Chains A and B, each alone.
Chain A
Amino acid sequence: MSVATPEAPVSAGATPRAQKKRGPDRRPGLSRKLPYLLLAPAILLELLIHIIPMLVGIWMSFVKLTKFFIANWSAAPWAGLGNYQVAVDFDNAVGEGLLKSFGVTIAFSVITLALSWALGMAAAVALQPAFKGRSIVRTLFLVPYALPAYAGILTWNFMLQRDTGAVNHVLVDNLGLTSDRPFWLIGGNALISLITVAVWKLWTFAFLTLMAGLQSIPNDVYEAASVDGAGLVRQWRHITLPSLRPVNLVLVLVLFLWTFSDFNTPYVLFGTGQPPAGDLITFHIYNASFLTWNFGSGAAMSVLLLIFLMIVTGAYLIVTGRRSRRA
């Protein structure tokens, strides 16, 4: 008895552990392999569609891959950094075009992100307290998001037509703001059109995300604040905004990455004859590659874009991570 007692805790601790082993670890050979078997299809597809193409893309950016080598592309001659030199030579037509497109994309991305966030926030705050018909309004707001991108963008294309579109009908015929009908799909207004269409589609996502974030703020926090005499603006500034901080950090990054790599909006809105004012970078790379069949140059631009996005994402995560740790 006196000998067995000190051993009792040991065996008591060992028994449940042994029982647990009878679960997934009963057949150690299979159990160790099982997660990899489960992952195998996903890994295989990720390799085929994402990882290998990325490596091939990096290799492509170092070769002279023109239309003469498409059928037998592994024989394309080595270009070294040549494709990159052309892409960043801003005195040259190719480099100049890339730089301009980059500027347009930054402007598009930042403005679209800011407007989508602001509209999403305005609507999420307005719909935060329950009222009759709230779920109907919420469903209505979700429709642009549910619509296939091209269906929505085609409708906007129709509305932005110079002579037959609804937009000019309102501006010129109904409101009489200008006498000559402005062009919206060519010339300098193209960027405004792009931003409008992109915001129409995107603000709903900001709304969805922010609304979900608002649901987690308890009502009595606001009640306490209004008892203390805080107005709606101060409540928003001191309760809503800080509570949404983690949501906003993710949302802003996601919206930036989406807008910066948006292809559908310019492609469907403008067709292949894109106006310089609406020449977004992904569309620019697509045209540079498939209109001139200079894949090496397109690949070099793609790698530059990838590096830029990685730097921005990394910097963003470091800055926001540090700040939220301090707070």
Chain B
Amino acid sequence: MRDTKGFKIYRAVVLVVLGLFVLVPLYVMVTSSMKPLSDVQGAFTWWPSNLTLDPFVDMWRTVPLARYFVNSTIVSVAATVFSVMIAILAAFAVSRFRFRGRTVFSTTVLSTQMFPGVLFLLPLFLIFVNINNSTGLQLVGTRLGLIITYLTFSLPFSIWMLAGYFDSIPRELDEAALVDGCGPMGALWRVVLPAARPGVIAVAIYSFMTAWGEVLFASVMTTEANRTLSVGLRQYSTQTNVYWNQIMAAALVVSIPVVIGFLLAQRHFVAGVTAGAVK
């Protein structure tokens, strides 16, 4: 069916147009990262006249990129690990227990996800300042503050998605584990979690991507010492020069970990992200 000539033409047009739309910026990113500075400061060319890998070397010196890389990695990995652990516990409770306040919890968690981050930014900033004043615990301008902030960004989505995954696992499985002498936590650990592994992977990727790409809170809550990549990359623009070739090289390098992770696990991810929308 649908292998008519008309459909094939339509498909070819869509693939070419959208393929170009997607690919051209990626092509510009990759090729510009291999041009000398004089080339990216002059008229644009599709093909680099002097192919060079210098931007990939120079970018580490122009800006303390390595430090930003370390900061982003620590913050994103920590936020991902905590977010996934907390989401697993909460999703298990929502999926397997009937308790007072269950609906209130689910609704509240879901609705916080729809509000823009700028709404929480100012109050959170002040709360962090206050915590610092009263307890001496520094949250503004530290990695800890960012980790706490980021792990809640992905939390609502993770809880929602994992609860859906857990629901799809037959209850008879963990009831059998309970009969065999496992406690509820044993049933979660030995039966439910292994069966929900794709969901856990998807949630982990989502959390990592969210933290790695976050801009708003990173721009307000960081200082030079704990700056992450999303803000640090701006520093290639100085008063006198914009190092476009190094910006493109850095953008390429910081994208590689997430893109590879995403593409490796895209099957789980796509299934997970769309499950909620489709159901």
- Listed in ascending order, the chain A residues whose CB lies under 8 Å from chain B are 20, 22-24, 31-32, 34-36, 38-39, 41-43, 45-46, 48-54, 56-57, 60, 70-71, 73-74, 119, 122-123, 126-129, 131, 137, 139-152, 154-156, 158-159, 163-166, 168-169, 173, 200, 203, 208-209, 211-213, 216, 219, 222-223, 226, 231-232, 235, 246-247, 250-251, 254, 257, 260-261, 263-264, 267-268, 271, 282, 285-286, 289-290, 295, 298-299, 302, 305-306, 309, 313
Report the Cα distance A48→B22, complex, angstroms. Answer: 39
Q: Are B124 and A53 in contact (CB under 8 A)?
A: yes
Query: A130 vs B273: C-alpha distance in the bound complex, in angstroms?
Result: 22
* Interface pick from B55-63, B126-134, B196-204: B126-134
- Contact check, A50 vs B152: say whether CB atoms are below 8 A apart: yes
Query: Complex Cα distance A289/B124, Å?
Result: 13
Kindly list chain A residues whose C-beta atoms are within 8 Å of the C-beta of B130. 73-74
Contacts of A38 in B (CB 8 A): 89-90, 92-93, 97
Q: Mark B101-116, 1 if CB is under 8 A from A, else 0.
A: 0100100110010111
Is the C-beta of B213 less than 8 angstroms from some C-beta in chain A? yes
Expressed in whole angstroms, the Cα–Cα distance for A208 and B270 within the complex equals 7
The reply to whether B244 and A164 form a contact with Cβ atoms under 8 Å apart is yes
In angstroms, Cα B28 to Cα A200, docked, is 15
Q: Which of A41, A158, A213, A302 contacts B247 (CB 8 A)?
A: A158
Residues of A within 8 A of B230 (CB): 148-150
Can you offer 11 A-B residue contacts whose CB atoms are under 8 A? A34-B97, A52-B123, A60-B123, A122-B18, A139-B266, A148-B229, A151-B29, A151-B255, A158-B247, A200-B21, A226-B1
Interface residues of B (CB under 8 A from A): 1-4, 6-7, 10-11, 14-15, 18-19, 21-26, 28-29, 32, 40-44, 46, 86-87, 89-90, 92-94, 96-97, 99, 102, 105, 108-109, 112, 114-124, 126-127, 129-130, 133, 148-149, 151-152, 155-156, 159, 175, 178-179, 184, 209, 212-213, 215-216, 219-220, 229-230, 233-234, 244, 247-248, 251-252, 254-255, 258-259, 262-263, 266, 270-271, 273-278
The interface residues of chain B lying within 8 Å CB-to-CB of A286 are: 118, 121, 216
User: Which residues on the A side are within 8 Å of B259 (C-beta)?
Assistant: 143, 146-147
A71 and B128 alpha carbons, distance in the complex (Å): 11
Q: Is the CB of B126 within 8 A of A52?
A: no
- Give Cα A31 to B183, complex, Å: 10
Residues of B within 8 A of A166 (CB): 24, 28, 44, 46
Please state if B258 and A23 are interface contacts (CB–CB under 8 Å). no
Contact B118 A285 (CB under 8 A): yes
Closest to B158 in A: A42
Please report the number of residue pairs spanning A and B whose Cβ atoms sit closer than 8 angstroms.
291
> At the interface, is chain A mostly helix, strand, loop or mixed?
helix
Q: Give the residue of A56, A137, A163 whose beta carbon is less than 8 angstroms from that of B127.
A: A56
A141 CB contacts on chain B under 8 angstroms: 18, 22
Q: Which of A34, A56, A151 contacts B126 (CB 8 A)?
A: A56
- The answer on a CB contact under 8 Å between A169 and B43 is yes
**Contact partners of B133 in chain A: CB under 8 A:** 71
The chain A residue sitting closest to B133, CB to CB, is A71
Contact of B178 (CB < 8 Å), options: A23, A123, A147, A267: A23
**Which A residues are CB-close (under 8 A) to B109?**
42, 46
Residue of B nearest to A213 (CB): B278
On whether the beta carbons of A150 and B233 are closer than 8 Å, the reply is yes
B86 with A41: CB separation less than 8 A: yes
Do B89 and A216 touch (CB < 8 A)? no
- Give 20 new A-B contacts, CB below 8 A, not counting A50-B112, A282-B117, A302-B118: A31-B184, A34-B184, A35-B93, A35-B99, A50-B115, A122-B18, A129-B1, A139-B266, A143-B259, A158-B244, A166-B46, A212-B277, A267-B216, A271-B234, A286-B118, A286-B121, A289-B122, A295-B126, A299-B123, A306-B115
Q: Is the CB of B179 within 8 A of A150?
A: no
Contacts of B29 in A (CB 8 A): 151, 155
Instruction: Give the chain A neighbours of B156 by CB distance below 8 A.
Output: 46
Min distance, Cβ A199 to any Cβ of chain B, angstroms = 9
Contact check, A169 vs B44: say whether CB atoms are below 8 A apart.
yes
> CB-nearest residue of chain A relative to B112?
A50
Measured in the bound complex, the distance between the Cα atoms of B99 and A35 in whole Å is 7
Q: Assess whether B117 is in contact with A263, with CB atoms less than 8 Å apart.
A: yes
Min CB–CB distance B40 → chain A (angstroms): 7
A60 x B7 contact (CB < 8 A): no
**Residues of chain B within 8 A of A128, CB atoms compared:** 2
A144 touches B258 (CB 8 A): no
Does A150 lie within 8 Å of B120, measured CB to CB? no
